[in-house]
Structure 1
């Protein structure tokens, strides 16, 4: 039956259905045995019982997938056979029990309840004119108990379906979350690698290009000494870039910090820069910093100096490393062309101006704060402050 298929998936539905079939068989046997001594009428009652049983079991086996109208016709035939039997054999009133279950199973809504009420009324008036309290209370009580049992069973089934649906949704959400986290991790790793390449290899290659360009001009003008000096700086920068690349591949700390302190690494940046004058100043009592903090400051210094070389056209720049009791600060100041920070921040991220975004991201990763102040024609100041009180981990 189409509607019965809804309940066929219930936990224990098959057991309930077979129990109703067994109950129906027992009632048929009981009603049939009671008319064996009833003369000629017994053949009529037995024939009706046989027809009732044949229609009942045929429907239970062949109407599982049927649409609503064949099921309705099947129940009508059963009901008519039962109503015809009642005046001939009053004990046939007990066959209303399996009918109740069939009505509700086929139509688990107001239609099924209406059918149960109608069958109850027929069962009560089937004893007319021999009314008794039992003939009224019995069918009514049976109808109420059947409805209560069926809908309690159905409520448990619906709760079971809700739990299954929730479980499937939780599994789907968990899978989606795992997929999202994996994608987010891939994006974050790609961004980190992009920042690493920008702040190391790209900046180094840019410095080499500018140093060689200056050396080429000096060779053309006959200033061989300065040309050799700039070529030497280009070679040093290339060596540093090679070390950075090897360290990046091996997922090690920045190569510049393996060979010197943070202050020494900043001096190497100043020495290899294409900016003519770069000063490095340390203020406050110098102290060891966590490697992650030193690496962040070094990368920001490289990124900031790369921007000075490529965009500012400045002849002078200054790097100031300041140690304070609860934080360390790095300031990179130049006296170049400057720019409008608001216009740059509104541009979409891309290779042309990834430096500022990378520096902000690096500072945020260690709980720091990076600010950029610049005015067209008046230079640029990049300042990053990183707390050190809880950064020893």
Structure 2
């Protein structure tokens, strides 16, 4: 993070410390000025020193009063520090101002720039005190230097600890948001499953019963009776069959029974066993979000359905591939192929087309809705349908009941 960004995003507790540092600098400067006047009077030199101290405070105030921009803060505090360096060499009474200036410099600078400016502060104090001793006391030089080194090391340690804490807080916030999103998605899938069960137990069962009653009524007519009443009954039977088929197809979209209580890998294995397909697992398996598993299972189901119904395929292969930041499902067959640009699909996602099920558009819609990629490659001799979805790159080992990797 740049210094400007750090200033703009400075936490409230550090802003309170900044205000204390600002007030301390003004108070200490006023006390030092009073001490200087008491000891040296208001000679021409003394007046120049006091004017320089006033200019230093004025420049500093431009960077801290109101709501200054990060650039203005940096320029004003740096200029005030440079003025103060010249001031303290001329008048050692102002040496105590080094403490608040040290923290102010670290507020607007970091790294080498902060080190150079603070080294200038320490050197100015050391020179001022050395001159005050008449050039006889080197202890007055060593003391400020040692104090500056210790203070710099302590501040650098605190800064690293604070950055680590801030990073931890940011990570926790990100994790919380991801967990909340995952819980919302899980709740959505649970509700979809509940609605599917309710529809199955009410609408589907009721429609099936009505169809049975009409079929029974149809059987009561004589074989040669083709009157309008019987024709209407048979038309009603066909309407009910169509509605029942469409409702079951809707239930198929709402709930994925294969994922109940298991992961995508075992669900695909069950699908492969039922359809005579071959399943290959590539990469290190991991836990996947429910919505990703649901979408990829639907793609595999629909691709296999299309291959069996339309492709005249004798071999179907499913490949589940785990990468560090994405997961993909490929379904390949050795069928007759088709023109992928003219698949005979409906324009709306989820609507069945000539190739059955939701069709290619519905599969693409599912995958792209998760930020993934969906591709179809087809030619005489085979078709490959591939769906890839991005996932969190944090690995989470999942035991493989089939013993495969």
Give the alignment's TM-score, normalised by structure 2.
0.47
Larger Rg: 1
Give the alignment's TM-score, normalised by structure 1.
0.48
